[in-house]
Chains A and B, each alone.
Chain A
């Protein structure tokens, strides 16, 4: 089974769960006066779930056949290991780490880390250029966001700012 049909299957499952919630569980907590309304919170989701289930089924069963010639520019997922999969996964992991460390480490430190580790993952080894560039970028972006845009970004690690 091709990937697009696997995806259709997964979406079908999601839509079935969504539809189950819309049809059977959502209306339980509805206030009595709301039940006299022609539209309930579950009305629109019910329509959507039915349509989505039908569409997902039509893809899953392959009802619509078309010219399925792969575009030359695009990535062939069947040979995913031919590409730099490790680098991509490492960068995704790095993004998750950044999300988790942003608050505890502070913006400046975590951004410096993110930019330099990211470049190292991609094969950059000229640290004398990389580190200053990353540090400058972290500083400039912090200044722009904090001072120009006026959105608070805590710059330093938690243990340094606990006092104030």
Chain B
């Protein structure tokens, strides 16, 4: 491990990569602050840039920097104008905005920055310990287990979707898998399901799909409902960034607990920074003393530190399944996986052996990124926050334009733009009806890997025998079935019981 860390240090501390971290963090903070642009949209927009860099470690470092920069930027707009740019910072606004209203915006930003820093750094330490251990176990896996593991990952994403949503999430995953079969795959030398359309010969572009699923619906929502990008404008002066020793002592245990909890939640597939931040807030409120509980929601420092720590730790945690298993647990890591594949890197347990410099450089760059967010962004925040004053009449055309450019640069093909608009409209309608869109993208990205492993296992065992002959495969597949069936079974039982009680009354 020490050797790996040294390789990582060597790679991460090259001039280019340091610039990548700084650039990524700044861009992420800047755009993450804008209402309506989440980390997924930003990373999707940045992918053409990252791919044209060509060096996979630099590209991944840049994208990772954008990712946690965006989370940090989102918390700034939550605190200053009560407009969370990102779902995972909604919990931050519960206590951050009241603090800003009391004229303590500077203090709130400092607490947020310190909590983010600690959450991210402790997360990175845990990542450094967990990822190699998990990767060494994963090296024992064959294609049959891989296939089963991906099935588990995909069903876990559906299972964590929440009550009444399991079927929808599952359907979206399957739709993503179906879309992945369009075009000419590496496995068979024949185009499938192209319906004779030449532009579909190479399948759907993954950047196009990512833009259409996230950036475009978000922009359309902003247009439809102007209150979503409401400019509070009452952020006021940001001054007095200092916090006292007592305050630091109050938030320290919160940060410690939430770093670990957030990280573990982030590792789970399907549960990302959003769930971690809400859960972190709820847990801290429950274990606080009576007087402190009163404070929650009115400007409690603990209530601000908890979600901020948790969402950053969870961001880092979500890199564990990505880097060790090659299975993304969230929409954002799915986009990162797509970028890695485009750069000719196959994430998975072999990544640590084949490309140790990528693996370790990303982890080392996370420390650096968190440090940069702390020391660079904190003094700059009052200036960066000026971006919040950009009127929406300018903002929205630019968001749409960058969405279009992202898809166009990736494929250099104007038809791609029409596909983007078409898919974007479909995605917006799906969002109206509360269909989750991240499973679709994850299914799409995992689709070809799933099929390849399935095919390899079938060929090795000349049939479906591998399911029965390999106990681990069987166990994992059984787990997948349980994951999907259990939530609806429990919901049904709870409902039956509720009805039974109602009848008895």
Contact = CB atoms under 8 A, between A and B. Distances in A.
A87 B170 CA distance: 33
Nearest to B417: A99
Interface residues of A, number: 71
Interface string B152-193: 000000000011111110110011011001000101101011
Interface in A6-23: 6-8, 11, 15, 18, 21
Contact of A65 (B48, B49, B495): B495
B412 to A, nearest CB: 7
Contacts of B163: 66-67
B292 interface: no
A119 B417 contact: no
Given A56-B171, A111-B401, A115-B398, A66 B52 contact: no
Given A7-B433, A39-B459, A95 B421 contact: yes
Interface in B423-474: 424-425, 429-435, 451, 454-455, 458-459, 462-463
B167 A39 contact: no
A32 interface: no
Contacts of B188: 34, 41
A20 B392 CA distance: 47
Contacts of A98: 404, 417
Given A4-B433, A38-B459, A91-B223, A44 B451 contact: yes
A99 B414 contact: yes
B356 to A, nearest CB: 28
Given A56-B171, A88-B220, A99-B404, A119 B394 contact: yes
A92 B429 CA distance: 14
A133 B394 contact: yes
A59 interface: yes
A67 B171 contact: no
Interface string A30-65: 000010011101011100110110011011000111
Given A39-B458, A48-B181, A66-B164, A11 B171 contact: yes
B223 A64 contact: no
Given A98-B417, A102-B408, A55 B171 contact: yes
Nearest to A104: B414
Contacts of A151: 48, 52, 409, 412
B479 to A, nearest CB: 17
B459 A64 contact: no
Interface string A127-158: 00010010001000100010001111000000
Contacts, number: 181
A11 B440 CA distance: 13
A42 B185 CA distance: 12
B193 A52 contact: no
A149 B495 contact: no
A58 B158 CA distance: 15
Contacts of A163: none
A86 B165 CA distance: 31
Contacts of B398: 115, 137
B10 interface: no
Interface string B39-64: 00000000011001000000000000
A15 B178 contact: yes
Nearest to B434: A4
Given A99-B414, A145-B405, A55 B193 contact: no
A164 interface: no
A160 interface: no
A4 B455 CA distance: 34
Contact of B401 (A70, A92, A114): A114
Nearest to B403: A95
B110 interface: no
Contacts of A124: 391, 393-394
A20 B203 CA distance: 20
Most chain A CB inside 10 Å of its own CB: which residue of B49, B181, B430, B491: B181
A67 B396 contact: no
Contacts of A21: 193
A100 B462 contact: no
Contact of A18 (B167, B193, B435): B193
Contacts of B190: 29, 41
Contact of B435 (A7, A63, A65, A66): A7
A75 B396 CA distance: 18
B167 A59 contact: yes
Contacts of B52: 149-151
A63 B174 contact: no
Contacts of B491: 64-66
Contacts of B505: none
B417 A4 contact: no
A113 B459 CA distance: 55
13 contacts: A34-B188, A43-B458, A52-B174, A59-B171, A65-B491, A85-B224, A95-B421, A99-B404, A100-B418, A115-B397, A122-B223, A124-B394, A149-B52
Nearest first, the 5 closest Cβ-Cβ pairs linking A and B are A66-B164, A118-B397, A99-B417, A124-B393, A77-B432
Given A7-B429, A7-B435, A91-B396, 4 more contacts: A38-B463, A48-B174, A119-B393, A149-B48
Interface of A: 2-4, 6-8, 11, 15, 18, 21, 26, 29, 34, 37-39, 41, 43-45, 48-49, 51-52, 55-56, 58-59, 63-68, 70, 73-75, 77, 80, 83-85, 87-88, 91-92, 95-96, 98-100, 102-103, 111, 114-115, 118-119, 122-124, 130, 133, 137, 141, 145, 149-152
Interface of B: 48-49, 52, 162-168, 170-171, 174-175, 177-178, 181, 185, 187-188, 190, 192-193, 220-221, 223-226, 228, 391-394, 396-398, 400-401, 404-405, 408-409, 412, 414-415, 417-418, 420-421, 424-425, 429-435, 451, 454-455, 458-459, 462-463, 488, 491, 495
